[in-house]
Chain A
Amino acid sequence: MKKASILMIIGPFFLLGLYVFPLWNIMLGAPQYPDPLGLNIHINGLQGVNEFDIQNIDGLNHYIGMHTLPKVEDMWEFGTFPIIIGIMVGLGVLIGVLGFLEKVSYKWFLGWFALMSLMGIMGMYDFNEWLVDYGTNLDPNAIMKLTNPDGTPMTYKPPLLGHVKMLNFDVTSLPATGAWLMFLGMMMTLAAGFLGWKDKKTKT
């Protein structure tokens, strides 16, 4: 249980990477953008991969009537996510310490993991909702109103994960360093739960 608890204490700390590194990354390459434009999605706001990328993405998107990318004050998520992550780290470490002191069982470890996973899924859902809105809620007076071959208006939702060809742009959306650190941390807590369970099994 000691080994499991140490893992449980360390694991949540990896979530702190989210305060430094982006959670997600979307790259937009096109013939005239051999150095692609890029968007880093942090838990507390959006940043261009290069300094002026956001301005340039907004500049291009105005032709097809997309809204500008949200500023920190435009989305409650950018205020709330950092708090949630902070609470989860604190909670995870606390559970780990209590486990070390044999005050709580491995089930709490798995409980933290389950809660974190649930929140992750909710976060992804929320993110996807924003992508849908960003890509489909278009200005009716857009300069270019393009239609699909079947006559429906063309929309521009970036992919949640993977690559999509959108007009002249190749759009690739992937988890970034912050997310990978979070996954690593969560896997450690899952391993902590597993070790705790095995420990318990051998003892009984």
Chain B
Amino acid sequence: MKVKHHLIPALGAALMLVSCGQQNQSSNGALSSSAAEKVYVAPGEQDEYYAFLSGGYSGNLTVYGLPSGRMFKEIPVFSQFPTSGYGYSEETIPMLNTSHGFVPWDDLHHPDISQTNGELDGRWIFVNGNNTPRIARVDLGTFETAEIIEVPNSAGNHSSSFITENTEYVVAGTRFAVPVPQRDMSISEYKGNFKGALTFISVDPEHGHMAIKFQLLMPGFNYDLSHPGRGKSHGWFFFTTYNTEEANTLLEVNASQNDKDFIAAINWKKIEEYVNNGGGTKMPANYAHNVYDEHSHTGTTTMRDEVLTVDPTKVPGAVFFLPTPKSPHGCDVDPTGQYIIGNGKLSADLTVHSFDKMIAAIEGGKFDGEAYGIPILKFEDVLAGQVKSGGLGPLHTEFDGKGNAYTTFFISSEVVKWQLGTWEVIDRKPTYYSVGHLMIPGGNSRKPFGKYVVAMNKITKDRYLPTGPEMEHSAQLYDISGDKMELIYDFPTHGEPHYAAGCPAELLAPKSQKIYRLDENRHPYAVTTADGAKVVRDGNEVHVYMSTIRSHFTPDNIEGIKVGDKVYFHITNHEQDFDVPHGFAILGQNSSELLVMPGQTKTSVWEPKQVGVWPFYCTDFCSALHQEMQGYVRVSPANSNVELKWSLGE
């Protein structure tokens, strides 16, 4: 009898499953054919959107097209990149300098495209290095890293690199609280002693150059993610926190005890005013500022020795805490600037705070105590609503500009679409698997382009042909133009994408640079005409001023180099034709090749260790006579008297 009772519902469930399965199968055919049409970009045609996916631990930024999912470029930012010689060439080594010396790797997380009036303007894209805290600016004309600034007093540069709505600031918050300034102290004395620095880096409106305007030294919580206010809330910045317990060990347990952590609301305009009126304290610091000049094709490092710090308790009315349940991760602001969404990652629900209510509560002076002198607002006073999603592990939210929000759920592995204001769930679709961030082009600006959402997953498993234990990550593309989301494509992504940023193709494609002008090349070792090519010895340093054009090097025979010399090959590409790079590699080079774009100069150092005649060649299949683009360097013993000479065609 008992057995029967159990069997009947089980059978019923099984039947439902079967019929569901069949229904799905029958509709799948039609679905997949229309999905194929939606993502198919025919040969020779171009995508509708650019998508910039962070490369995570690759340290790079990858450029994709949507809806095709085709990868167009990997932009080296925080990591050495032998493909182009970035971080290996003499010109780009300075880009990776820090106060800890040359750091050739980082963990790149959150790309954000520059904005004007809260809308994407496509001038630059900012990205953060998480490990050795740095912010980089990538130029969206050249698609190359233009500037990197190190962030002192920070550790785990994670609530970064988000920009304010006129790109006044790029903001970098610390995930790990640390002693400020750094000093030798017991780890167990963390609580009450460590600080969480939130750094506001000003961006020069014309050239994009970055400078640290001020650092707000907050209590030693973990500042996880952030986003700017926009529209009515422009002038504010919101940061999620976890570990308000200030635990220093076994955080997975000890930092998960408080029922609520905070969203920190920062009125940066107020602090800016305070600082402009002479407020704040200058503190000795040591950090690198690396700027790449497009005309000299050279990066330079300047070490900075001071930073302006601000104690939040000294600026009344500038900083407040909004209680938010369960270690919130993502902190997202809707396009109107009214709603601040805290994605409580250990919760099933989303907490939505109201900007208007927050302002009313502040004006009404209704506080629920304070933490380290910072007023805490009452949860009920600022709460706009809660989304009872039914999912588990909400992480990040983006917006379509039509009143809907889309939130990823890591644990239940899905994207949930819900409505702002009613907090009702409209649709949910699985992801494959364990989604982190999601991205709608412009989805964190005043003007989202709500056609596609890309979900970036942490686990790939069986989505593609297996490639051993290590696989690329996986992204899913959903069409969100209708009421229901539709999964239309799957594509592998490089490194570990965290956040991404996207924009319409027409914002960037027309201004994408084709060549560097040779007549604007101001590299000190450039040769702008082939007859200027030469070899100059200075002690045991030898400078080779070499030019390239299809299909030869000038010079291509060099004699008089000796073992123990340090030979600098300065290669100038004389092409002024789109997409005709030349490469340079020489046998025994202890670095990488150089890939030199038209009009550009790059330098590789070669220290020959063996006597002989050593070939060099062009590594890029530049032309029909690419194979012939080669040359020799004669290396003589250290004490020899072979005359220094160079030639071409003699």
Contacts and interface: CB of A to CB of B under 8 A. Distances in A.
A30 B645 CA distance: 40
Contact of A55 (B576, B578, B624, B625): B576
Interface of B: 515, 549-550, 575-578, 624-625
B576 A56 contact: yes
The 3 closest A-B pairs by CB, nearest first: A52-B576, A56-B577, A55-B576
17 contacts: A35-B578, A51-B576, A52-B515, A52-B576, A52-B577, A55-B576, A55-B577, A56-B576, A56-B577, A59-B549, A59-B550, A59-B575, A59-B577, A63-B624, A63-B625, A143-B625, A144-B624
Contacts of B625: 63, 143
A56 B579 CA distance: 12
Contacts of A51: 576
Interface residues of A, number: 9
A100 B515 CA distance: 56
A51 B577 CA distance: 10
Contacts of A144: 624
A117 B5 CA distance: 106
A3 B578 CA distance: 53
A169 to B, nearest CB: 14
A47 to B, nearest CB: 15
B416 to A, nearest CB: 44
Contacts of B549: 59
Interface string A24-36: 0000000000010
Nearest to B550: A59
A59 B518 CA distance: 16
B528 to A, nearest CB: 13
B132 to A, nearest CB: 41
Contacts of B576: 51-52, 55-56
Contacts of B578: 35
Nearest to B576: A52
Given A55-B576, A56-B576, A144-B624, 5 more contacts: A35-B578, A55-B577, A59-B577, A63-B625, A143-B625
Interface string A49-92: 00110011001000100000000000000000000000000000
Nearest to A51: B576
A63 B578 CA distance: 19
Contacts of B575: 59
A71 to B, nearest CB: 16
A172 to B, nearest CB: 20
A154 to B, nearest CB: 15
A63 to B, nearest CB: 7
A35 B514 CA distance: 12
A55 B550 CA distance: 12
A58 to B, nearest CB: 11
Interface string A144-173: 100000000000000000000000000000
Contacts of A143: 625
Nearest to A143: B625
Contacts of A56: 576-577
Contacts of A35: 578
Nearest to A144: B624
A143 B629 CA distance: 13
Nearest to B623: A63
Nearest to B599: A52
A173 to B, nearest CB: 22
Q: Which of A35, A55, A59, A143 has the most CB of B within 10 A?
A: A59
A57 to B, nearest CB: 10
Nearest to A35: B578
A98 B24 CA distance: 90
Nearest to A60: B550
Nearest to B625: A143
A142 to B, nearest CB: 12
Nearest to B579: A32
A74 to B, nearest CB: 19
A56 B580 CA distance: 11
A193 B624 CA distance: 57
A150 to B, nearest CB: 24
A56 B624 CA distance: 15
A144 B624 CA distance: 10
Among A52, A55, A56, A143: residue with most chain B CB under 10 A: A52
A30 to B, nearest CB: 12
Nearest to B577: A56
Contacts of A52: 515, 576-577
A64 to B, nearest CB: 11
Contacts of A55: 576-577
Contacts of B515: 52
Interface string A134-148: 000000000110000
B297 to A, nearest CB: 18
Interface string A103-124: 0000000000000000000000
A56 B598 CA distance: 12
Contacts of B550: 59
Nearest to B628: A143
A52 B550 CA distance: 15
A147 B642 CA distance: 45
A23 B576 CA distance: 26
A35 B577 CA distance: 11
Identify which of B575, B577, B624 gathers the most chain A CB atoms within 10 Å of its CB: B577
